[in-house]
């Protein structure tokens, strides 16, 4: 393939090879136009396509062979660049050993050989130094006798830019050491390291399925007795009562409600067994022309008074209160002493005097 000449296409080259004159050109035109059976694009057209395919295949093979040769050439250049430092180390030895052997064989005595070696050694070192300086140029610079390397390309291809320009530097020379040769035997297993810090808490997982029912457990120890959660009472008195020289508790003789017996009928006092808030109510009937003077007591403290002035007519008098009681507290009604004449009225027919109380809310403690 000559440079400067326009490259023919595979179709044109095939036509040029197959035709030798006007008769051959007409024969080739008729073969492309009609086949063996007289139809357009017949068997002649098929032979032309096969020849064209073979020609393209040969072009691809030549291109592949050219690329393979270029790759081998680059590998040889890299090898020479990599071994140049090693060759520079062995050149002094190659000069020194023959000279030393010749001196040792030709000398008659050791002292004479040493004298000759000292005389030749400076010259030998100078030659070695010059060779070391010229060695990279010998390995890297192309020979002047050779023509510059030119890449073969098709005449019709576009010119590719040069791979190496003057502004680019020479590749760096590095000695490659195979680390697998220096690898030693496998060492012993080291000690266990310290535990690391706890990681971040992960997301909560999905709720699992309900497991199977377990077996029946053992019976527990007996518990405490049930505590009473209610307390109430209602009592009355059918007898009149006059004041004495001392304070006296109002005692009742009729029971309406006292299920838990929290009210002591003998002492006339209510004892708290369920701490909490209680409501109390006292009702009495006054005596004509006499004063009525009573107190509702919480333990020994007066809480509320029930009072009525002397009058010609008797009346019903009432008093109510709510108290916060603790365990074993006492609530009762006290009649004032004789310093002030007072009395309450009742008879055996009707009940005029009553005392009531009940738990509103138990304590939270």
Quote the tokens at residue 215: 């077996």
- Report yes or no on 145 lying in a domain: no
> How many whole angstroms separate alpha carbon 308 and alpha carbon 286?
7
pLDDT at 269 over 90: yes
- Report yes or no on 35 lying in a domain: yes
- Report yes or no on 198 lying in a domain: no
State residue 65's pLDDT score: 87
> How many whole angstroms separate alpha carbon 140 and alpha carbon 88?
14
- Report yes or no on 202 lying in a domain: no
- Residue 48 structural domain: 10-140
pLDDT band, residue 93 (cuts 50/70/90): low
Question: Do residues 277 and 360 touch, judged by C-beta distance below 8 A?
Answer: yes
The number of distinct structural domains making up the chain is 2
> How many whole angstroms separate alpha carbon 107 and alpha carbon 285?
163
> How many whole angstroms separate alpha carbon 264 and alpha carbon 295?
18
Residue where a domain terminates, one of 109, 140, 171: 140
Q: Which whole number is the average pLDDT over 147-173?
A: 54
- Report yes or no on 184 lying in a domain: no
Look up the CATH number of the domain holding residue 318: 2.60.120.40
- pLDDT above 90 coverage of the chain, percent: 25
Residue where a domain terminates, one of 116, 140, 164: 140
Q: Which residues, in sequence order, are CB contacts of 352 under 8 Å at separation 6+?
A: 237, 283, 284, 285, 316, 344, 345, 346
pLDDT at 298 over 70: yes
Identify the helix (H) or strand (E) that includes residue 317.
strand 316-325
Place of tokens 């576009």: 158
Residue where a domain terminates, one of 140, 167, 184: 140
- Report yes or no on 196 lying in a domain: no
- Report yes or no on 190 lying in a domain: no
pLDDT at 116 over 70: no
Long-range contacts of 312-317 (CB under 8 A, 24+ apart): 312/288, 313/288, 314/285, 314/286, 314/287, 314/288, 314/345, 315/285, 315/286, 316/283, 316/284, 316/285, 316/286, 316/352, 317/283, 317/284, 317/285, 317/286, 317/292
| Number of residues in the chain | 365
179 φψ region: left (φ > 0), alpha (ψ -120 to 50), beta (else):
alpha
Distances 337 to 52, 162, 247, 297, 314 between C-alpha atoms, Å: 147, 137, 5, 15, 21
- Report yes or no on 151 lying in a domain: no
Q: Which whole number is the average pLDDT over 318-342?
A: 90
Of 315 and 163, more confident = 315
pLDDT band, residue 365 (cuts 50/70/90): confident
- Which of 319, 315, 317 lies closest to 305 in space, CA to CA? 319
> How many whole angstroms separate alpha carbon 304 and alpha carbon 319?
8
> How many whole angstroms separate alpha carbon 58 and alpha carbon 64?
10
């Amino acid at each position: 393939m000559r440079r400067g000449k326009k490259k023919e296409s595979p179709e044109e080259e095939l036509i040029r090879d197959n035709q030798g004159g006007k008769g051959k050109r007409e024969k080739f035109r008729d073969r492309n136009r009609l086949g063996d059976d007289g139809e357009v694009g017949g068997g002649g057209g098929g032979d032309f396509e096969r020849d064209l395919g073979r020609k393209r295949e040969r072009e691809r093979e030549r291109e592949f062979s050219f690329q393979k040769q270029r790759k081998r050439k680059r590998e040889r250049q890299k090898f020479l660049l990599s071994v140049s430092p090693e060759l520079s180390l062995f050149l002094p030895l190659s000069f020194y050993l023959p000279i030393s052997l010749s001196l040792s064989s030709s000398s008659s005595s050791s002292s004479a050989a040493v004298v000759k070696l000292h005389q030749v050694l400076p010259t030998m070192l100078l030659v070695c130094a010059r060779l070391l300086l010229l060695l990279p140029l010998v390995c890297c610079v192309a020979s002047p006798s050779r023509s510059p390397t030119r890449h073969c390309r098709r005449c019709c291809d576009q010119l590719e830019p040069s791979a190496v320009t003057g502004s680019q530097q020479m590749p760096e020379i590095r000695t490659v050491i195979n680390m697998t040769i220096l690898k030693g035997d496998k060492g012993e297993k080291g000690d266990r390291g310290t535990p690391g810090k706890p990681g971040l808490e992960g997301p909560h997982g999905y709720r699992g399925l309900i497991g199977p029912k377990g077996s029946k457990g053992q019976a527990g120890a007996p518990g405490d007795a049930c505590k009473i959660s209610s307390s109430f009472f209602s009592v009355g008195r059918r007898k009149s009562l006059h004041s004495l020289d001392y304070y006296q508790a109002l005692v009742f003789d009729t029971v309406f409600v006292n299920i838990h017996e929290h009210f002591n009928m003998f002492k006339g006092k209510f004892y708290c067994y369920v701490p909490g808030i209680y409501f109390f109510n006292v009702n009495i009937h006054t005596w004509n022309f006499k004063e009525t003077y009573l107190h509702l007591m919480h333990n020994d403290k007066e809480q509320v008074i029930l009072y009525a002035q002397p009058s010609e007519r008797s009346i019903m008098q009432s008093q109510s209160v709510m108290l916060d009681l603790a365990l074993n507290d006492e609530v009762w009604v006290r009649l004032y002493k004789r310093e002030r004449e007072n009395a309450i009225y009742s008879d055996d027919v009707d009940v005029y005097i009553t005392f009531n109380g009940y738990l509103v809310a138990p304590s939270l403690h």
